[in-house]
Amino acid sequence: MKYLPCEDEEVHKLIQEEQARQEQTLSLIAAENIAPLSILEAAGSVFINKTVEGYSGARYHAGSRCADALEELTVRRAKQVFGAQYANVQPHSGTSANLAVYLAALKPGDTVLAMSLSEGGHLSHGHPLNFSGQVYRFYHYGVDRHTEVIDYDQVEMLALRHRPRLIVAGSSAYPRLIDWQHLRSIADRVSAHLMVDMAHISGLVAAGVIPSPVPHSDFVTSSLYKTLQGPRGGFILARQEFGPALDRAVFPGCQGTPILPLLAAKAVCFKRATTPQFVQMQYQVVRNAQALAHALGEHGLRLVTGGTDNHLVLVDLRNIGIKGNEAEAALESVGIVANRNLVPYDPEKPTITSGLRLGTPTVTNRGMGEGEMRAIADLIAETLTNMGDDAVISSVRDRVRALCSQFPMPGWATLPGAAWANLKP
Ligand SMILES: Cc1ncc(COP(=O)(O)O)c(C=O)c1O
């Protein structure tokens, strides 16, 4: 960085420290990834200076020629990647994309059926503290107590009982495939629309590693920064007939100007998602998650649903007598960054939890494979079973650092002021 250190040393220092933290720790946060430098460049481009409102060809400000071309390109690429009839790439986040679909498809007070937050859903799927739970009447389905997979009979029973206008699927902590076709048939039985929030899995869907919800859904929403490996922000896909209502719902319904540099970064992200390298990476993300799950299981850790079909693993810590928040803190102390998570039928509060969610996008992006996943599982198990033993913790910390230096962040050696050498994480 050239200008920031002269103008604002405090912010520059924080960026450098964050750079060092990312380099020197293993992120197993399932909702994180490493955006390529091309995406960082697009996100930091001069498009930040341009204000537009509305859509290409119908703007409220002059000077929009490049912005129009950019938005058209981004929309075209989004539709192409996912085989969708309609795309809106303006939502500022995954949550804003969900808000826009609700605004387009529902009236305040309408009934919606979604997956419960405590069993893998998301706040914007009707949590009482979120706008969604305050404006609409949400009912929630969950997973079967024994198999821990979605209880489709319960979904159908609740749909028949409550007659929702919208059924919402997709989750933040569900390690298995979701049967889109089954949900479509339930939605059809009660004349509901089906919305899939594929925020977590959109990279896997783009690469064709797991089945796409697009052909079965009326609306599909997503963020871009998880498996899709893009910038912050969201997008909406839909059948063409919903396009006008969705356009109005995003602008002027719930947003003003789109963040054009992030639109540029979204365009780059969609282009990359069609490359063979991206597809290979997504397959490896899943292979790595399965290797991690298998190795954790061999250490006696209980996996929710017994394993994974996607990029994440949910560990139930109750059989080793540790709470999720304790595990999160112990792992962070050795440089493994993960998050506590509720497990199905969790007796603990969301701030404590009985579980740990682990995801493989970031470590896969650093070039790690199944062998490294087994090593990471060893490090996790050693940490969780030796909490309070300073010698073991210190040895694990050293091995985490060694693994990080063996697999540097992709392309970061070229970043000005690479932080690895002298900054503390
Ligand atoms: C399923 C799901 N939907 C939406 C979101 C929210 O995305 P954003 O943080 O971009 O609002 C998340 C975030 O983790 C998520 O897991």
Furthest CA-CA distance within the chain: 65
Residues 232-253 have a mean pLDDT of 98
Distance from the alpha carbon of residue 228 to the mean position of ligand 1, in angstroms: 13
**Residue % of the chain over a pLDDT of 90:** 95
Q: Tell whether pTM > 0.85.
A: yes
Q: Considering only 117-121, 188-192, 239-243, 306-310, which range has the smallest mean pLDDT?
A: 117-121
Give the per-residue pLDDT at 84.
Answer: 98
Residues 141-153 have a mean pLDDT of 97
**Three-state secondary-structure class, residue 265:** helix
The pLDDT confidence band at residue 405, using thresholds 50, 70 and 90, is very high
Q: What is the pLDDT of residues 299-352, one digit of tens each?
A: 999 999 999 999 999 999 999 999 999 999 999 999 999 999 999 999 999 999
Q: Is the predicted pLDDT of residue 201 greater than 70, yes or no?
A: yes
Q: How far is CA 379 from CA 70, 382, 394, 396, in A?
A: 45, 5, 11, 6
Contacts (Cβ under 8 Å, ≥6 apart) of 249: 100, 101, 103, 104
Q: Is the predicted pLDDT of residue 424 greater than 60, yes or no?
A: no
Q: What are the structural domains, with CATH classification, of the chain?
A: 40-272 (3.40.640.10), 277-414 (3.90.1150.10)
Q: Is the predicted pLDDT of residue 286 greater than 90, yes or no?
A: yes
Q: Whose CA is nearest to atom 16 of ligand 1?
A: 172
Q: How far is CA 138 from CA 102, 130, 205, 408, in A?
A: 12, 11, 27, 44
Check: CB of residue 219 under 8 Å from CB of residue 237: yes
Check: CB of residue 125 under 8 Å from CB of residue 117: yes
- Give the residue from 131, 127, 126, 95 showing the smallest Cα distance to 112: 126
Q: Mean pLDDT of all residues in the chain?
A: 96
Closest ligand 1 atom to residue 95 Cα is 11
Residues 242-248 have a mean pLDDT of 98
Give the per-residue pLDDT at 414.
Answer: 79
Residues 6-11 have a mean pLDDT of 96
Give the per-residue pLDDT at 195.
Answer: 98
Distance from the alpha carbon of residue 231 to the mean position of ligand 1, in angstroms: 13
**Residues with beta carbon inside 6 Å of ligand 1?**
31, 93-95, 122, 124, 170-172, 197, 199-200, 223, 234
Give the per-residue pLDDT at 425.
Answer: 46
Distance from the alpha carbon of residue 199 to the mean position of ligand 1, in angstroms: 6
Give the per-residue pLDDT at 419.
Answer: 52
Burial (CB count <10 Å: 0-12, 13-18, 19+), residue 14? exposed
